[in-house]
Chains A and B, each alone.
Chain A
């Protein structure tokens, strides 16, 4: 077995047994990034010096018998997380020259846990996109077929882990940006409950929806990383003060008696028949493990895309008002006055999709339209959250497909924003309701990865990971690596 296909517990064991040092591990993955990163356009920055210094520190701790399960394990951060002294672009020209003056809490926590940062992953500009084609740094390619998109917005994170350029990548999810690329690239991607992971230093897109998480090969790996990331943070006013459970300890609980809700509205005419077959095969595995399947209906879920495209742009227009060409970021040449400075710095610094969303948000929040759009969307959001609450009165987890179809071609959906937006039709509901959700690979569809989505109750990540792990013990889809990257 190659080093880059090992699980995190195997890597941790290898480090302790002296099979390889953390520095050797970092060099191995840096070598893979050098060999494959540019063709996939997966990373925006490679931080080799930082990586080797952090790895040497990890080796020092390990030699003293210290460190935890993540000590010496390499990772890549999505370029939305601030990394002190390292360029943090958020995939935008606006922040192309921005060197973060501090670490995001997620970055600081994983650093403290001994993880080794190899670089920063490419992403859709300000996390707005579902294909990683809106990045100022260019599109990312899907390692399973480089003519296809990896999904987005965490497309660079997904391509990185899928090609095994790193065993772990952080990611963020506002409407599906962890789960959709994880599904399209054959990975395990977890969006935790809103408030579970600190958003301090995570560049804001839509504050009532954004949540940080990760992509890994397996649920077992995700459990270890989540334990390192999660927890209360006084610096994030939306962070929830709750103890962090031992996610790894809950992985092997038996599934007998587990009540699975089959989300009726997700198995509609918009779902690719091959995708449906793959998801139903996965559900059959759960039945074999002793779980029961019940159909659940969320009558308002069909309105999640329209509600999202009011709430998210509204919050984005407000959050992105901070980019003014004055305190940091891009400034236009020779502004003639202050208004010109604002307008041209923003007009030139933001790409088309970001501008489209800022304008949509500005419109729906403008005088006279608030009730018709924002208020209405927040009411519909309540209806959707109530639907989930009712369903969770009957079942423990809800399952369905992560995406309507497998990865699509680069350029296929860039001309029509609506077609692109509809790719997130199955993922947005969990964000609106603040619920934890993950995507795991199920049987491939036409030789391409497919994702099974599992949605849980608030703060029930233990069960989500347990349920995902049970499937991964029965199947080996999560161990598949594209041939070029084996």
Chain B
């Protein structure tokens, strides 16, 4: 039988010798060594945050592949990064350029709205939001 972290935690939790607090800290201690495993409910929550509809059958598929991606990404932990400044811009010394706060665009809404799924009176239409 493969011993996974949830199984160990469950075994400990059902053993009256250990208090709930001990089980909790024990689990936390081991979690940091465990491979990150995405649970189906986490996938559903991420999909909701990302505003993506995901079918029931897709959930385990994404749980598996995201777990594998996160375990690949977990390799970053080996890097010593104490005191290293995060790099947001790939060119040294450069940051995003700002421009003067002036109107530079002309009104072209008709051209742009030609691609919209639904418009009326130059407005984008969506299902009713306010009851």
Contacts and interface: CB of A to CB of B under 8 A. Distances in A.
A327 B115 contact: yes
B4 interface: no
Contact of B76 (A303, A344, A350): A303
B108 A362 contact: no
Contacts of A373: 73, 76
Given A98-B115, A303-B76, A385 B51 contact: no
B93 to A, nearest CB: 11
Given A329-B115, A358-B52, A379 B108 contact: no
A101 B50 contact: no
A293 interface: no
A363 B66 contact: yes
Nearest to B110: A101
A346 B51 contact: yes
Which has the most chain A C-beta neighbours within 10 Å: B79, B86, B118? B79
Interface residues of B, number: 54
Contacts of B94: 195, 240
Contacts, number: 173
Majority secondary structure of chain B interface residues (helix, strand, loop or mixed):
loop
The secondary-structure label for the interface of chain A is: helix
A337 B131 CA distance: 11
A209 interface: yes
Given A194-B90, A208-B90, A306 B73 contact: yes
Given A101-B112, A328-B116, A376-B76, A237 B51 contact: no
B66 A359 contact: yes
Contact of B72 (A306, A329, A362): A306
B31 interface: no
B101 interface: no
A326 B125 CA distance: 7
B52 A376 contact: no
A189 B124 CA distance: 41
Contacts of A364: 73
A356 B77 CA distance: 22
B116 A327 contact: yes
Given A309-B69, A348-B53, A331 B118 contact: yes
B91 A240 contact: yes
Contacts of A72: none
Contact of A343 (B51, B78, B84): B51
B75 to A, nearest CB: 4
B6 interface: no
Interface string B66-88: 10111011111111010011111
A376 B79 CA distance: 9
Contacts of B88: 208, 378
Contacts of B116: 326-328
Interface string A294-315: 0000001001011101100000
B124 A326 contact: yes
B65 interface: yes
Contacts of B117: 325-326, 328-329, 331
B112 to A, nearest CB: 6
Interface string B34-68: 00000000110011111111100010001001101
A143 interface: no
A417 B69 contact: yes
B21 interface: no
A373 B114 CA distance: 40
Given A195-B94, A238-B96, A385-B90, A303 B75 contact: yes
Nearest to A422: B72
A309 B72 contact: yes
B126 A341 contact: yes
Nearest 7 CB-CB pairings of A with B: A434-B90, A347-B53, A378-B86, A331-B117, A379-B81, A328-B115, A382-B87
Interface of A: 97-99, 101, 193-195, 208-209, 234, 237-238, 240, 300, 303, 305-307, 309-310, 317, 321, 324-329, 331, 335-344, 346-348, 350, 352, 355-356, 358-360, 362-364, 366, 373, 375-383, 385, 389, 416-418, 421, 431-434, 458
Given A321-B51, A366-B46, 4 more contacts: A335-B126, A343-B52, A348-B53, A356-B65
10 contacts: A237-B96, A237-B97, A306-B75, A331-B118, A335-B126, A337-B127, A338-B129, A348-B53, A434-B89, A458-B92
Interface of B: 42-43, 46-54, 58, 62, 65-66, 68-70, 72-79, 81, 84-92, 94, 96-97, 99, 108, 111-118, 124, 126-129
